[in-house]
Structure formats: C-alpha cells, structure tokens
Amino acid sequence: MSNVCEDHIFSSVFKAHSKTVFNYIFYKFGNEEKAHDAVQEAFVKLWENCAKVSPDKAKSFVYTVANNLYLNVIKAEKVRMKYADTTNDRSHESPEFLMEEKEYKQKLEDALNALPENQRTTFLLNRVDGKKYAEIAEMEGVSVKAIEKRMHLALKSLREHIDGI
C-alpha cells in the first residue's frame, strides 16, 4: 500500500497542494511570509504523521493544519494581488484606457480587502486557482451551498464597491 512516508508520494502531494495552501493562507491574511510558513508547518506535520494519514486524506490534512495554525492569531493585512502579464496587448491601448484600467484595478483591490475573510478566500480560490465550489467547500469544511452563497455575496459586494453604490 502506498504511504505518505514514501519520499516520492510525499513529494507529489507537496507538488499538488503546496501552492494552494500558500494561496489559501495568503488570501486569508494577505501576508506572504505567513503563507510560506504555513506551507512549511503543514507539510512538516504531514511528514510527522505520515503513517497515520493516507494519501487521499493528505490534502484536507494540510489545509486543516494551515488553517488552524493562524486561527485567531494574526490580523489580516492588505491582500495585494498581481495580474497576469498583458503588456503586449496593453501597448496598443490609449493612455486614457490604461489610466482607467489602473483605477479599476485599484478599486478592485480595495473592494477585495473590504470583503469578509471567508468571502475573499472563497472568491479568490475560485477565480485565481480555478478551484471548483465543491473543492472549496471541502477545504473550508462547509457545504457547497454555503460556498455559492459566499461567491454570490462576494460578487455583489465587489460590484457595489467598484460602482460606488
């Protein structure tokens, strides 16, 4: 039987989930350093408990450890997102358009930071990491319906914030 204690299995679990763990903690608290630490902490715990955690449980194990690590401990900081490189397209746009685009992105960042932590995390996991609602529901330990609710409310708040309603 395959075991997380085996080096190649552990490495594959790490490759499959470390990035999402990193993003997950980053979306929650906006702190890259803490997100890096969470990845290290979660996978060290997984290694220490490798005999007890089966490979299919490893995913939810690392999310739980990472989540519990900072439970009520740190205050959320500003979440600063980047954008996919679109400079090639941008060079053809007018300065006015670029200016507007910049303003829009600023508003979006403010709006994202104004969201409750669980809505922001859920929204970004879906939009940036392409996680399915069911997957996020499993990570957060809630129902798919609750995730849909969060997505709906997040979209609504973002639009209201950006359109200045």
Partner 1 sequence: MQENYLAKWLNGELSETELAEFKASAEYASYQKLKEVTSTLKAPDFDMDQALAHLKEERIGTAPKVITLNPFKNFLKVAAVIAILLAGSYFYVNTLNETVSTEYAQRTEVTLPDASEIFLNAESQVSYSKKNWDKQRDVKLKGEAFFKVSKGKKFTVSTDQGTVAVLGTQFNVENRQNFFEVTCFEGLVSVTYQGMETKLPAGTSFMVINGEIVESPMPQGNAPAWMSNESSFERIPLKYVLAELERQFNVKVTTQNVNTEINFTGTFNNTDLDMALKSISTPSQIKYRVEGDNVLFYAGNTP
139 Cβ contact partners less than 8 Å away, ≥ 6 residues apart: 24, 60, 63, 125, 131
Task: Provide the mask over 10-39, with x wherever binding to partner 1 is found by CB under 8 A and - wherever it is not.
Answer: -x--xx--xx--xx--xx----x--xx--x
Instruction: Please give the size of the binding site for partner 1, defined by CB under 8 A.
Output: 47
Q: What part of residues 74-113 is at the interface with partner 1 (CB under 8 A)?
A: 80-84, 86, 104-105, 108
Residue 58 CB, nearest distance to partner 1 (Å)? 14
- The number of C-alpha atoms within 13 Å of 33 and in the hemisphere containing its C-beta is 3
- Give the alpha-carbon dihedral of 8, 10, 13, 15, to 10 degrees: -70
Question: In angstroms, rounded to a whole number, what is the distance separating the alpha carbons of residues 144 and 132?
Answer: 10
> 91 phi and psi, to 5 degrees?
-60, -20
CB of 141 to partner 1, least distance (A): 19
Residues in the site for partner 1, rule: CB under 8 A? 11, 14-15, 18-19, 22-23, 26-27, 32, 35-36, 39-40, 43-44, 47-48, 80-84, 86, 104-105, 108, 123-124, 126-129, 133, 145, 147-152, 155-156, 158-159, 162-163
